[in-house]
A = this chain, B = another copy of it.
Amino acid sequence: MRIAELSEQSGAPVATIKFYLREGLLAAGQRSKPTQASYDATHLRRLRLIQALREVGGLSLARIRVLTDAIDDDRLPTHDMLGLAANEVSPEVSADPDDPAVAASQARIERLVADRGWALSADNPGWRTAVRVLANFEQVGAGELLEVLDSYAQAAEIVAEADLGTVLNGPDPASRVETVVVGTVLGDSLFAALRRMAQESMSRKFFPPSGE
């Protein structure tokens, strides 16, 4: 297909597609004439991946490039790819270790990890974020939110088990890697969406809505 059709099918403006081509996020098309290239289903699929990572995942183009490079690198072991995807899609948060609230949160997360029997590397990107969020709960006077931790961890195990299951079922390494990227980034959005839905449904039971 020509670039105009690629634009129509994906909903991405031609200028945006040309930008991705220049930036190397999208592979060049097959030259049919000196001023014309043709594109196929693999281009459409990659274009939709970039759009989903941007719009739903909120990722920057720099992060998207790291991920698409990884998808195209078939030498990367699956475990390493999982770690890379997790790192790229996690916000960089800092937590001051001298802050008493941070130290208390660190101890709390260590206890949780031990209780759950989780085997983790020291640089797991979730660890730092979890510590920071728990410290924030205390600092903003919402300490009662700490009570959710065990339920969240239990739910996270259910989700992680489903996640890993889909990766194991991938037909070949390249598609597994793509599944990891898509599943990690869009999985966060999907879970947050389902959480909002389950929250509204439960909220209606506990707190009668006004005006109904």
Contact = CB atoms under 8 A, between A and B. Distances in A.
Given A45-B140, A129-B56, A195 B191 contact: yes
A148 B158 CA distance: 10
Interface stretch (A23-31, A32-40, A120-128): A120-128
A130 B82 contact: no
A73 interface: no
A115 interface: no
A108 B67 CA distance: 29
A49 interface: yes
Interface residues of A, number: 97
A82 B160 CA distance: 27
Contacts of A167: 206
Interface in A130-182: 130, 132-134, 136-137, 139-142, 144-145, 147-149, 151-170, 175, 178-179, 182
B127 A179 contact: no
B200 A121 contact: yes
A139 to B, nearest CB: 4
A208 B82 CA distance: 12
A26 to B, nearest CB: 13
A141 B186 CA distance: 13
A196 B158 contact: no
8 contacts: A86-B200, A126-B196, A129-B192, A134-B190, A144-B166, A148-B166, A151-B159, A168-B206
Interface of A: 11, 45, 48-49, 52, 55-56, 58, 77-80, 82-83, 86, 90-91, 93, 96, 113, 116-121, 124-130, 132-134, 136-137, 139-142, 144-145, 147-149, 151-170, 175, 178-179, 182-184, 186-204, 206-210
